Structure 1
Amino acid sequence: MTTFNLPDKLCITGGNLSENWSQFEQALSIYLIASGLDKADDERRIAILLNIIGEDGVKVYNSFRLEKKDLKYEQVIKRFQEYCNPKKNILYTRFMFYQRQQGADEPFDCFLTDLRKLVKECEFKSEDEAIRDRLVLGTSDMDTQKKLIVEGNSELDAVISKFRLAEIGRKHAEEVQGTSSKPIEVGKVLKGKSPRLIRCGWCGQQHEQNLQLCPARGKECTKCKKMNHFASVCRSKFVKTICQNEEHNTNSDEEFYCGSINKMILINKEL
């Protein structure tokens, strides 16, 4: 035996009653068609509606005080529509529509979806024109707005397409610029592992165990005038003693990096 999902009860007391009814009526219509009950007589379809709508919905139905004799299903639906959709304040609904602005970091499609929802209550002669105008005038994308105003009278689909393409272009540009402006970040995502950080004895800062990342590399110490370290970590009186028995070669990357660790250990012990 084939079974069908029953619609949820009509929510009378919570949320937007008009929207709740619209969703309930659609779900009920789908259920009746799917189950083959859409052609049933009026009495049976009314009984199905009242069986599904819930206790609060039945109380609303009883308040209609409809004559049961020769009662039509469409009459009941109409009364629920009138109850759930009271007279609209058009000026207020349009005010809310006109006030809608796109947030600074709000995705374009979220802005568009909300405008499509708001416009349903406004009863404009042309919803497409109203949405188009609000997209252009309420956008946070000033560059695309300027281009569309210069064009003057683009259709809604063209406006949507241009805003979406502009948003995609900005995201791609941010990704490219972010990668090129911070090349040292690439190593942090290799193999999905976090980099090993050290407290560098040459610059006094924390960075990866990589000679190329040391900001002191190629810099002259303002204290001792030697290369490849900062004055803030300069230990010239100790380095001089240590270097008496050791040839100091700054041309070798390996000696510079590995030697720095050994020398700093000796320095720390002497301190």
Structure 2
Amino acid sequence: MSKSHTTSTNIATEWPKWKQQFTVWMIANGKMGRPDNEKIAIFIWLLGEQGIAIYNTLYPNDGAEKSMLGIDMSAPTEETPDAVQQRTLNEVMKSFDEFCVPRKNIAMESYKFNMISQKERQSFTEFETELRKQIQYCEFKSDCGKRYEDRMLRDRIIVGVHDKKLQLKLLDGRDETLAKVVDTCKVFEALTNTSKC
């Protein structure tokens, strides 16, 4: 979404990352307490070309401040005759969530996750990081809403580790937790690297 991401075609994966960076930036710079029109202006400024095109699609405007920021001076109510209706940053963020997230193909994201295997000479930490990055797009949860990412990560690590001795050791682990499987892999890798020296 930022200027460096203007050519990105995978909005479903780029938007959550950009949203997180934007939120952290707003908090770190003390901007979260500012009025919504200022927060939206900052949001628009930081979006980059692709993001602005999406914003203008979601909120058609004539480029004027009131039109662009969603300030409506013509909608007072009986209780608040001097009230000004204004778009909020939360509404804008929710609109972007709804616009971007439906474009995520959960089946494809899960397929990518399940195809990840540790490459030859790839460290376990790199392999684990690759899995953890991909799993956040998979939405692994049951019908009751309970998440089961740890189970999926554990199973994918066991299936995908490159070293077959380590894989057998993990399979013999009597249903260990994800933390225990990760620890076993790191210790095994450290011992293997030490013995090669």
TM-score range, shorter chain: 0.7 to 0.9
Structure index of larger Rg: 1
Corresponding residue number in structure 1 for 2:24: 30
1:231-242 to 2 correspondence within 5 Å? Answer: none
Aligned in 2, Cα 1:119/1:35: closer, same or farther, shift over 3 Å?
closer
How far residue 10 of structure 1 moved from its aligned partner, in angstroms, is: 6.7
- Pick one of 112, 119, 125 that aligns with 1:109: 125
Q: Deviations over 1:243-263 (max 9, x none)?
A: xxxxxxxxxxxxxxxxxxxxx
Conserved 8 A contact 1:64-1:79: yes
Which residue of 2 is the match for residue 134 of structure 1?
A: 156
Judged with a 3 Å threshold, the aligned counterparts in structure 2 of structure 1 residues 150 and 114 are, in CA distance, closer, same or farther, namely: same
Change (3 A) 1:159 1:65: same
In the alignment, which residue of structure 1 is the partner of 2:91? 75
Summarize deviations over 1:86-106 as a string: whole Å, max 9, x none: 343222222221121111222
Q: In the alignment, is the contact (CA less than 8 A) between 2:154 and 2:181 conserved in 1?
A: yes
Q: What number of residue pairs does the alignment pair up?
A: 169
Mapped to 2, the partners of 1:136 and 1:38 lie a distance apart of 43
Distance 2:26 2:133 in 1: 27
Which residue matches 1:19?
13
Q: Give the alignment's TM-score, normalised by structure 1.
A: 0.57
Gaps of 5+ in 1: 1-6, 176-271
Partner of 1:155: 177
> Unaligned regions of 5+ residues in structure 2, if any?
61-66, 73-85, 142-147
Cα RMSD for the two superposed structures: 2.2
Check conservation: 1:112, 1:135, Cα contact below 8 A: yes
1:98 to 95, 114, 118: 114
Looking at structure 2, the residues matched to 80 and 106 of structure 1 have their Cα atoms a distance apart, in angstroms, of 36
Q: Does the CA-based 8 Å contact 1:93-1:118 persist in structure 2?
A: yes
Q: Which residue of 2 aligns with 1:62?
A: 56
Q: Percent identity?
A: 30
Shift of residue 27, structure 1, vs aligned partner: 2.5
Task: Compare relative contact order (CA 8 Å, sep 6+) and give the higher one, 1 or 2.
Answer: 2
TM-score with structure 2 length normalisation? 0.76
